Structures are given as structure tokens and as C-alpha cells.
Amino acid sequence: MDADLPPSLLVRLVATTWLVFRRLVCFAGAIFFTAQLLSLVHRFVWMDEVFGPAKKELMGWERVETAAALAACIALFVFIGVVGVSISKSDPLLTYRDQKRRYGWRW
């Protein structure tokens, strides 16, 4: 496939459909992990009212590690949803920039 030739209508349609599908799936995953993170924070704050500060201190670091892992998942899902991943090139941002130019995507 020659990169200098403009893509056909079918190729542009398939690429745009894949972009929309990828963003829907990844942003749904990011929303799910955001809800999990907010639930974790809510339970951590609520635990202080129910069990007192002593129990909160015992459970603190476990929750911080879990919150960090959830935040990393959110960032990964958003990055893959917006930029995507590339097997052929080392920099996914360059690949995304080339795809935007090739297919005429503004977003």
C-alpha cells in the first residue's frame, strides 16, 4: 500500500469506524476505572467515620497502591483511546499524526 496515494472511501470508512470503536471501548473502560477509584476514595473517607482513625491507618497504604494502579489504568485507557498503539512504529504519537493527516481526521 502506497502511503502517498489518498485512501479510498472504503479504507477511510474502515479506519474511521475503528477509531470510533476504539475510543468508545477505551473511554468506557476509563469511566469504569474512574468509578472504581471514586468508590475507593469514598470508602476510605467513610471508613474513618465508622471504624475510627486506627483502622484507617492500617488500611491506608493498601488503598494508596490500589488508587495508584487505578489511576494508571485510567491514564492508559485514555491514551490508547485518543492516540492508539502502533506495532510498526516506535512512537504512537507520530503514527497518530500521520493517520490524522492521511484520513483527514480533525479529532
- The answer to whether the CB of 16 falls within 8 A of the CB of 105 is yes
DSSP 3-56: SSSPPPHHHHHHHHHHHHHHHHHHHHHHHHHHHHHHHHHHHHHHHHHHH-HHHH
Residue 16 grid coordinates? 474511521
Split at pLDDT 50, 70, 90, the class of 26 is: very high
Across all residues in the chain, what is the average pLDDT? 84
Digit-coded pLDDT (tens) for 61-80? 677 788 899 999 999 999 99
pLDDT of residue 79: 94
What is d(CA 38, CA 91) in angstroms, rounded to the nearest whole number? 32
Residue 27 grid coordinates? 473511554
